[in-house]
């Protein structure tokens, strides 16, 4: 069996972050689990659905820990590996940290796929780990019916310089660093309506690591009060979680949301995933979407894979942060502002 004739998206039912367990269902499950009592050194856990856990080791060092894996979202193994790695690394960057070590998580159908597929997947991931200046230290694999791949990532952050989704302040400006629409465009790919070349703008964005810290000064980094990355729960779900964790409301300009050029057309053709519906259900009681048209409403629920960072920043620094980030993330946009808590967590205008 040759790689050229094995489109990976055709081997699975769901791909990328759209394969996540629906947030509503996940919360219901987790609420029934009695987790261990947290140590005093545990600074961030999963209670507020933040992007990673943070555990303080010394006065100056805290560990940032996360993991992420999923089924193929792309057909080309090396591209899939690169996107899976960038997506997993993003959680550490979203906490203001730097990745240090990674371990691979692999499920692979030995009987139906050639070894060359996983070699390419691993190489694509390894290239991204190298780009992040982290170390690949090992991993775990199983023989399974379908391919699944991702990384467990550990990073460092200074305990007093970490970002969480609970620090947004009224008056902050809201910035998004990557366009929306990877879910619907990769759904079109899976249905073979578009090729990888035709959605290359989304692929390159998904494969770009979210190392915004490398482009900002220490003063600019200190001006970021809250952060999260936009992944499987869509812009709607992650923005809502940030607003609720911070006990504020976000006012978002509907026309300022950066969007891939083919995204609205794909949504219009109804290239949708189950996550579009589950994300809408998850957020329906916390969003004011009266200002949105049908396609905009679908766009905010679109499940992103390796999406951008959502940043809440001191308004005095928002222009300089925008200018700095646009050098590496050209779609970076000022999309709204943080307000005192209102009846809805996220309000679209």
State the catalytic residue, choosing from 17, 79, 106, 207.
17
One-character DSSP codes across 98-121: EEEEEEEEEEE-TTTS-HHHHHHH
DSSP one-letter code for 16: G
Dist CA 183 CA 275 (whole Å)? 9
**Helix ranges restricted to H, 208-331:** 218-222, 234-246, 263-268, 274-283, 294-301, 318-326
The pLDDT of residue 50 is: 86
Dist CA 157 CA 251 (whole Å)? 30
pLDDT per position as a tens digit, 298-345 = 999 999 999 999 999 999 999 999 999 999 999 999 999 999 999 999
The pLDDT of residue 17 is: 58
pTM of the model: 0.93
Dist CA 268 CA 244 (whole Å)? 31
The pLDDT of residue 158 is: 98
Q: Which domains does the chain have, with CATH numbers?
A: 3-157 (3.30.1330.10), 173-348 (3.90.650.10)
List the pLDDT tens digit at each of the 349 positions of the chain: 344 557 888 877 765 556 667 777 887 888 888 888 888 899 999 777 888 999 999 999 999 999 999 999 999 999 999 999 999 999 999 999 999 999 999 999 999 899 999 999 999 999 999 999 999 999 999 999 999 999 999 999 999 999 999 999 999 999 999 999 999 999 999 999 999 999 999 999 999 999 999 999 999 999 999 999 999 999 999 999 999 999 999 999 999 999 999 999 999 999 999 999 999 999 999 999 999 999 999 999 999 999 999 999 999 999 999 999 999 999 999 999 999 999 999 999 9
Give the residues across from 63 on adjacent strands: 55, 156
Dist CA 300 CA 230 (whole Å)? 10
240, 279 in Cβ contact below 8 A?
no
The pLDDT of residue 18 is: 62
**Positive/negative CA dihedral, 198, 203, 205, 208:** negative
pLDDT per position as a tens digit, 238-292 = 999 999 999 999 999 999 999 999 999 999 999 999 999 999 999 999 999 999 9
The pLDDT of residue 2 is: 40
In the numeric block, the tokens 């960038």 are attached to 86
Examine the residue annotation and report whether 312 is marked as an active-site residue of this protein. no
């Amino acid at each position: 069996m040759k790689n050229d004739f094995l489109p990976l998206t055709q081997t699975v039912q769901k791909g990328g972050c759209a394969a996540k367990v629906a947030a509503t269902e996940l919360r219901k499950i987790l609420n029934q689990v009695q987790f261990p009592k947290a140590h005093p050194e545990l600074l961030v856990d999963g209670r507020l659905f933040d992007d990673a856990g943070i555990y303080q080791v010394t006065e100056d060092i805290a560990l940032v820990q996360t993991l992420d894996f999923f089924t193929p979202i792309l057909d080309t193994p090396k591209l899939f590996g690169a996107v899976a790695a960038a997506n997993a690394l993003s959680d550490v960057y979203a906490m203001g940290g730097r990745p240090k070590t990674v371990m691979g998580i692999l499920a692979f159908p030995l009987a139906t796929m050639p070894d060359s597929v996983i070699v390419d997947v691993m190489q694509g991931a390894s290239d991204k780990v190298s780009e992040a200046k982290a170390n690949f230290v090992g991993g775990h694999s199983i023989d399974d019916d379908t391919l699944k791949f991702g990384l467990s990532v550990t990073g460092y952050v200074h305990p007093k310089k970490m970002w969480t989704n609970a620090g947004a302040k009224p008056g902050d400006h809201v910035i998004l660093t990557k366009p929306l629409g990877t879910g619907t465009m990769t759904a079109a790919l899976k249905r073979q309506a578009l090729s990888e070349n035709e959605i290359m703008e989304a692929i390159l964005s998904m494969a770009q690591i979210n190392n915004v810290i490398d482009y900002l000064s220490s003063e600019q980094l200190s001006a970021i009060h809250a952060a999260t990355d936009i992944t499987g729960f869509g812009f709607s779900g992650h923005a809502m979680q940030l607003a609720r964790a911070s006990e504020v409301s976000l006012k978002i300009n509907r026309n300022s949301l950066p969007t891939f050029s083919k995204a609205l057309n794909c949504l219009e053709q109804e290239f949708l995933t189950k996550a579009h519906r589950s994300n809408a259900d998850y957020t329906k009681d916390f969003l004011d979407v009266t200002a949105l048209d049908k396609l905009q409403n679908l766009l905010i629920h679109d499940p992103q894979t390796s999406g951008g960072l959502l940043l809440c920043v001191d308004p005095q620094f928002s222009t300089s942060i925008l200018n700095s980030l646009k050098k590496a993330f050209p779609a970076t946009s000022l999309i709204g502002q943080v307000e005192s808590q209102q009846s809805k967590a996220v309000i679209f205008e």
